[in-house]
A and B are shown apart, each in its own frame.
Chain A
Amino acid sequence: MTVADALLLGLGAVAVGAGALVVTTAHLVRAGLYLVVCLGAVAGLYLVLTAELVAWVQVLIYVGAVVVLLLFAVMLTRAPIGASADLDRPGLPALLVGGGASLGLAALLVDAYRWSSVPAPAPGTAEVLGAQLFRSWVLPFEVLSVLLLAALVGAIIVSRPDIGGGGR
Chain B
Amino acid sequence: MTLTPEWYLLLAAALFTIGAVGVLIRRNAIVLFMCVELMLNAANLALVTFSRINGTLDGQIIAFFVMVVAAAEVVVGLAIIMSIFRTRRSASVDDSNLLKY
Taking residues whose C-beta sits less than 8 angstroms from the other chain, chain A's interface range is: 35 or more
Dominant SS among interface residues on chain A: helix
Tell whether, in the assembled complex, residue A97 and residue B24 are in contact, meaning their CB atoms are under 8 Å apart. Answer: yes
CA distance A9 to B3 in the complex (A): 9
Give residues in B with beta carbon < 8 Å to A.
1-22, 24-28, 30-31, 33-35, 37-38, 41, 44-46, 48-58, 60-61, 63-65, 67-76, 78-83, 85-87, 91-92, 94
Q: Which of A2, A23, A106, A166 has most chain B Cβ within 10 Å?
A: A23
Q: Is the CB of A109 within 8 A of B68?
A: no
- Chain B residues contacting A12 (CB-CB under 8 Å) are 7, 11
Q: Closest residue of chain B to A38, judged by CB? A: B38
The answer to whether A106 and B13 touch across the interface, beta carbons within 8 angstroms, is yes
Residue of B nearest to A105 (CB): B13
Q: Which one of B13, B34, B78, B79 has the highest number of Cβ atoms from chain A below 10 Å of its Cβ?
A: B34
Per-residue 0/1 for A82-121: is the Cβ within 8 Å of any B Cβ (1 yes, 0 no)? 0010111111011101110110011001100111101111
Are the C-beta atoms of A148 and B72 separated by less than 8 Å?
yes
- Of B3, B6, B61, B79, which one neighbours A137 at CB under 8 angstroms? B61
- The answer to whether B79 touches A159 (Cβ under 8 A) is yes
A9 to B75, CA, bound (A): 33
Within 8 A of B (CB), among A32-86: 32, 35, 38-39, 42, 45-46, 49-51, 53-54, 57-58, 61-62, 65-66, 69-70, 73-74, 76-77, 79, 84, 86
B18 to A120, Cβ gap below 8 A? no
Cβ distance A151 to chain B, nearest Cβ, rounded Å: 4
The 8 closest A-B pairs by CB, nearest first: A94-B24, A151-B72, A23-B22, A98-B21, A118-B55, A105-B13, A102-B17, A166-B83
- When C-beta atoms are compared, the residue in chain B nearest to A32 turns out to be B34
Partner of A87, one of B4, B8, B28, B48: B28
Instruction: Give A133's nearest chain B residue, CB to CB.
Output: B61
Can you offer 16 A-B residue contacts whose CB atoms are under 8 A? Answer: A12-B11, A15-B11, A54-B63, A70-B30, A76-B85, A87-B27, A87-B31, A105-B17, A106-B13, A109-B6, A109-B10, A115-B4, A120-B55, A121-B54, A121-B55, A147-B72
User: Which residues on A sit within 8 Å (CB–CB) of B79?
Assistant: 154-156, 158-159
On whether the beta carbons of A158 and B76 are closer than 8 Å, the reply is: yes
